[in-house]
Amino acid sequence: MRTATERRYGGLRIVEPIALPLDEHLFDDGASLADALAKAVAADLRGAIARRGSARIALSGGSTPRAFLTALSKQTVDWPHVTVLPVDDRWVHPRHERSNEKLMRETLLQGAAAAARFMPLYRPSPSPEAALLPVLSRVANEALPLDVVVLGMGEDGHVASLFPDLGRDSPGLREIGLQPSGRAPALAVRTANAPEPRMTLTLSAIFTAPSLYLHIEGAKKKAVLEGAAADPTSLLPVRAVLAGAPRPPSLYWCP
């Protein structure tokens, strides 16, 4: 992936940054985006099952993907051979309104898709730090390598639960979370930008998937994404995704 271009003026070599590439799919509305993304992801899952006999997918939560998750549940996939896990989750009970597990059970894991195997990141433990070792072990042994990942992005440029202030108090956490390759597939996160502690996949786990999607909606988020793609000095986590992904992510966006 090229991140700069060179020009020469006389004997002077000038290196100019260029925007990181994106495979863009732009839609007029959320319904058409949800339908198209669901079909693309379902095709990836069917392909993985045909090659290996099973498929593994990590999905984002929040309000944006609700329509997409519902549309995906209606796709024709051999769901008993699919493992689903959240990209990240808040450290709240699975029945809590802010739980990504709850969202996925209410939207994706319905009808035929209810036969998929769900792998939660949350455990009945007082903190994500206390549960980190068993979560690390399970993700490493049962979820990796992933086949598909669908990421969202916040208006602050965060992806998964990898926030711009990650590692502010513990600098090593930023390196672990945003490292494109490494041995830590999950990370316990606390941030001033969110009220609850969280558990998240790291980029090293996310980048095991050959199919990587960015699902964002709204003009403000697209401006943040384009700014991060164009600025090689950006410290936004989404910039780390664009710069470190083995191949350009597929952007699905609508106003």
Query: Residue 223: which domain range?
Result: 21-254
pLDDT band with cut points at 50, 70 and 90 for residue 125: very high
| Residue 20, pLDDT score | 79
pLDDT higher than threshold 50 for residue 11? no
Q: The domain spanning residue 41 has which CATH number? A: 3.40.50.1360
What element of type H or E holds 240? helix 237-244
Is the pLDDT reported for residue 3 higher than 50? no
Tokens, residue 211: 């199919």
Q: What is the DSSP string of 154-179?
A: -TTS-BTTB-TTTTSSSHHHHHHHH-
Residue 3 is assigned to a structural domain of this protein:
no
pLDDT digits (tens, 9 = 90+) for 239-252: 999 999 999 999 99
**Average pLDDT of the segment spanning 75-87:** 98
In a domain, 100, yes or no: yes
- Please report whether residue 198 resides in a domain: yes
pLDDT tens, position by position, 20-76: 778 999 999 999 999 999 999 999 999 999 999 999 999 999 999 999 999 999 999
Q: Work out the average pLDDT over 100-124.
A: 98
pTM: 0.92
pLDDT grade for 19, boundaries at 50, 70 and 90: low
Number of domains in the chain: 1
pLDDT score of 164 more than 60: yes
Which two tokens mark 189? 């996160």
* Any domain includes 6: no
Judged against a pLDDT cut of 70, whether residue 186 lies above it is answered with: yes
pLDDT on residue 225: 97
Is 243 within the bounds of a domain?
Answer: yes
What is the band of 171 on the pLDDT scale with cuts at 50, 70, 90? confident
How much of the chain, in percent, has pLDDT values that exceed 90?
A: 84
In a domain, 15, yes or no: no
User: Would you state the pLDDT for residue 13?
Assistant: 46
Q: Give the Cα-Cα-Cα angle 112, 117, 122 (nearest 5 degrees).
A: 125
The answer as to whether 217 is a domain residue is yes
Let me know if residue 10 belongs to a domain.
no
Structure tokens at 219: 């003009």
Give residue 86's pLDDT band: very low, low, confident or very high (50, 70, 90): very high
| Statement: residue 14 has pLDDT above 50 | no
Closest CA to 238 of 250, 223, 225: 225
